[in-house]
């Protein structure tokens, strides 16, 4: 995708990405000036900039890192990060655990801000409150991106409607074994998830090679930020449609892969075409499989003024709301599970690139000019299990 050429059109400037995770350290060389800590709602701001594992900071750098000081250079270095800290692996007991907001509380708070994208590189959101918060955030026009999981079962919130599930691939375009076992038809986009430098731990002294669908999730969020920055007047429907239509895949668009969804993120195609048509702003391209257009429903409620604030807050608690299957619930301790690492790492299925070597995406990783080679791509959302 020729990232450096793509950055001449868009770096993600003007787009805020809410990173709900283990917190985000704003003082790493790559994130100085990139974290809007003052914009985290006070109700959920507890220790938002105190990352207890390094996971959230790594995701933030993959999205919007500047590469300064030998740090990671994210795919959307012009974007800004709004930090949220919840209790995940690494924070499973004690006073800080008890004081940390629940994932659904952070998600609802983020939905009421001007952040356009909400990155959730974790799993375990299976309660009714979680599901209601997902639908509420979607009704606010947010693009929700989540990891499909690494542990052999599809994770929530990635398996729910209105959430883009991110799958991981390696540098040869093969779906990672851990991602394939976990996606089970809930993968919507694919992005790099192996051999990715992330912080080794909460000391922020060095980077380690890592793998996981968490990393893929961050890169999907960054790709969306590039598109939304170039087209700030687009709605979430149009950004989603752009990701769908520009996906790089070796299978028909109407036959999405069980393991890679609609293919690999490829924002270059959108950015290279000043006349790109994203379709109607008020039509969810995935309304049929999402169970309806949540934005349209929200607009109808606002227009008729028949629902009060309490009804809006309870969006998603209706009897038609899908529930998480047993296989989708997180088995990790604590309130959720991150997708940062996995013991499984062998390659299983090749998710085809489009065959054009010019579509290769290079992500620069710091001042040392280390790079990762991946295939160009885009993707979509499908809630049903897939046959491929």
- Give the residue numbers marked as catalytic: 21, 55, 214
Total Cβ atoms within 10 A of residue 260: 35
What are the Cα distances from residue 221, in Å, to 138, 225, 369, 378?
15, 6, 23, 11
Per-residue DSSP letters for 63-85?
HH-B-GGG--B-S-TT-EEEEEE
Nearest Cα to Cα of residue 46 among 92, 74, 87: 87
Task: Let me know: does 13 contact 81? Beta carbons within 8 Å.
Answer: no
Task: Let me know: does 82 contact 118? Beta carbons within 8 Å.
Answer: no
Per-residue DSSP letters for 27-72?
TSTTTTTTB-GGGS-GGG-TTTT--SSSHHHHHHHHHH-B-GGG--
Per-residue DSSP letters for 274-341?
TT-----TT--TTHHHHTS-HHHHHHHHHHHT-S-HHHHHTTT-STTS----GGGS--SSSS-EE-S-
> Residue 209 pairs with which residues in a beta bridge?
197
Query: Cα 243 to the chain's mean position, in Å?
Result: 13
Lookup: tokens for 30: 């790559």
Total Cβ atoms within 10 A of residue 379: 32
Phi, psi values for residue 264, rounded to 5°: -100, 145
> Residue 35 pairs with which residues in a beta bridge?
81
Task: Let me know: does 194 contact 168? Beta carbons within 8 Å.
Answer: yes
H or E segment to which residue 109 belongs: helix 103-111
Lookup: tokens for 309: 């604030």
Phi, psi values for residue 61, rounded to 5°: -70, -40
Task: Let me know: does 117 contact 53? Beta carbons within 8 Å.
Answer: no
Taking the C-alpha atoms of residue 45 and residue 48, their distance in angstroms, rounded to an integer, is 5
């Amino acid at each position: 995708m020729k990232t450096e050429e793509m950055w001449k059109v868009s770096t993600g400037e003007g787009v805020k990405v809410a990173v709900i995770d283990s917190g985000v350290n704003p003082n790493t060389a790559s994130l100085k000036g990139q974290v809007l800590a003052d914009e985290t709602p006070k109700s959920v701001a507890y220790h938002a900039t105190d990352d207890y594992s390094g996971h959230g900071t790594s995701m933030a750098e993959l999205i919007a890192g500047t590469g300064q000081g030998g740090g990671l250079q994210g795919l959307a270095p012009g974007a800004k990060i709004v930090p949220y800290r919840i209790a995940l692996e690494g924070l499973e007991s004690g006073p800080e655990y008890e004081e940390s907001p629940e994932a659904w509380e952070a998600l609802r708070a983020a939905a009421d801000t001007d952040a356009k994208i909400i990155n959730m590189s974790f799993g375990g959101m299976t309660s009714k409150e979680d599901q209601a918060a997902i639908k509420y955030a979607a009704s606010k026009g947010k693009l929700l991106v989540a990891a499909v999981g690494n542990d052999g079962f599809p994770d929530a919130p990635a398996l729910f409607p209105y959430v883009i599930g991110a799958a991981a691939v390696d540098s040869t375009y093969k779906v990672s074994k851990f991602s394939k076992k976990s996606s089970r038809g809930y993968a919507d986009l694919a992005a790099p998830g192996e051999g990715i430098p992330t912080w080794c731990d909460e000391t922020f002294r060095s980077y380690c090679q890592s793998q996981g669908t968490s990393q893929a999730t961050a890169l999907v969020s960054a790709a969306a930020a590039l598109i939304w920055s170039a087209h700030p007047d687009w709605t979430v429907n149009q950004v989603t449609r752009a990701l769908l239509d520009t996906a790089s895949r070796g299978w028909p668009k109407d036959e999405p892969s069980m393991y890679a969804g609609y293919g690999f993120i490829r924002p270059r195609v959108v950015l290279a075409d000043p006349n790109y048509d994203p379709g109607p702003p008020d039509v969810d391209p995935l309304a049929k499989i999402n169970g309806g257009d949540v934005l349209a429903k929200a607009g109808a409620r606002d227009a008729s003024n028949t629902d009060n604030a309490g009804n809006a807050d309870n969006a998603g608690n209706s009897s038609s709301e899908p529930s998480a299957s047993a296989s989708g619930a997180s088995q990790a301790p604590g309130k959720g599970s991150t997708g940062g690492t996995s013991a499984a790492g062998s390659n299983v299925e090749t998710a085809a690139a489009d065959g054009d070597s010019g579509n290769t995406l290079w992500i620069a990783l710091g001042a040392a000019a280390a790079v990762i080679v991946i295939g160009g791509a885009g993707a979509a959302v499908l809630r049903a299990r897939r046959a491929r």
